Amino acid sequence: MTTVGIIANPVSGKDIRRLVAHGSVFDNQEKVRIVRRLLMGLEAVGVRRVVYMPDYYAIVDRALRGCSPQLELVPIPMELENSQDDSTRAGRWIEDQGVGCVLVLGGDGTCRAVAKGLVEVPMLPISTGTNNVFPYLIEATIAGLAAGLVASGRVPKELGAYRAARLEVLEQTRVVDSALVDVAVYNDRFIGSRAIWEVDKVAKLFLTRCSPASIGLSSIGGQLLTLAPAAPQGLYLELGYGATVVTAAIAPGLLQAVRIGRSRLLQVNETVPVGLAPCVLALDGERELEVHSSRALSVRYSAQGPYVVDVTATMSQAQRLNLMVQRGPVEADPAQ
């Protein structure tokens, strides 16, 4: 039986950048409507079982009130802590159960949390957060179709998904944390409100991907070059000095001039020392690690991130294989 997971973060899209920038609130009722459309897409391609992370707003349960899919829906057996660890533990349970694919509703931070629990199960991230570089802005019906096709094996994972890069934070040789899009070395002592919007405090920036059309810290690198999600190289920047100044969209409605000193490409498994202490490391736009003067950390560019469903590639394969096409006997045109 084909099984797909759903992890919907009820707090994504509501952080402090709604106050310091001009972001919109992504309300939970819209997430309910997204899940409803996901279920319709999953059912259409033959998925029969969905496991989901429970949450205080009951997003999936509310979605069922407006539709009647012929699906078995099973909550993941877990105690909620109402923290990002819930998403990581749900991802780990999905990995342990060998689920075919997991749909993730959230921003970069939610995707990062889920990915920490995954190894082989592909994820299809849907944007419902603030900074959305990693997840897709996509119609949920199509996302449900793509996730179901990959989960069932009708589109093989090697054709419908790619392995993303990640940035690993190392203490000596031990991985203590990771990020999917960016790691920022932030010149401060305390985590505080987590979200990054004061770019003048960012001393170093590590990126797995960047585009001139993206938002957040990766948009800084995106004004210099484009790195696709499956690119075999990352980007390292030193900020706050130098002759190059770019204007970047740091958060919704918030553009800042950023001075760039040194920049270079990162190769797979290349490690760069953090080199500043005390400081804070921000992972995918949120301050996570306080680095004290006695703690020597480094950042490694790794090609061993999560598998991510490529929706366009998956649906193109479905077209090539006629997976959404039924051909019957030719009937005469009644108009003739």
Q: Which residues pair with 300 in a beta bridge?
A: 168, 271
CA atoms within 13 Å, Cβ hemisphere of 189: 1
Band of pLDDT at residue 191, cut at 50, 70 and 90: confident
pLDDT at residue 297 is higher than 90: yes
304-313 tens-digit pLDDT: 999 999 999 9
Q: Which residue stretches of 97-187 are H helix? A: 108-115, 140-152, 157-160
The pLDDT confidence band at residue 192, using thresholds 50, 70 and 90, is low
3-state secondary structure (DSSP) of residue 145:
helix
pLDDT tens for 96-110 read 999 999 999 999 999
Task: Of 80-84, 110-114, 218-222, give the lowest mean pLDDT range.
Answer: 80-84
Domains defined along the chain, listed by start: 3-164+306-320 (3.40.50.10330), 166-302 (2.60.200.30)
Instruction: Give 316: exposed, middle or buried? Use CB within 10 Å, 0-12, 13-18, 19+.
Output: middle
Query: Alpha carbon of 118 to those of 35, 134, 173, 202, 229: distances in Å?
Result: 21, 16, 21, 29, 18
- For position 185, what pLDDT does the model report? 96
Asked if residue 18 has pLDDT above 50, the reply is no
Dist. CA 139–CA 5, nearest whole Å: 18
Asked if the model's pLDDT at residue 330 lies above 50, the reply is: yes
Per-residue pLDDT band for 19 (boundaries 50, 70, 90) equals very low
Mean pLDDT, to the nearest integer, of 170-199? 88
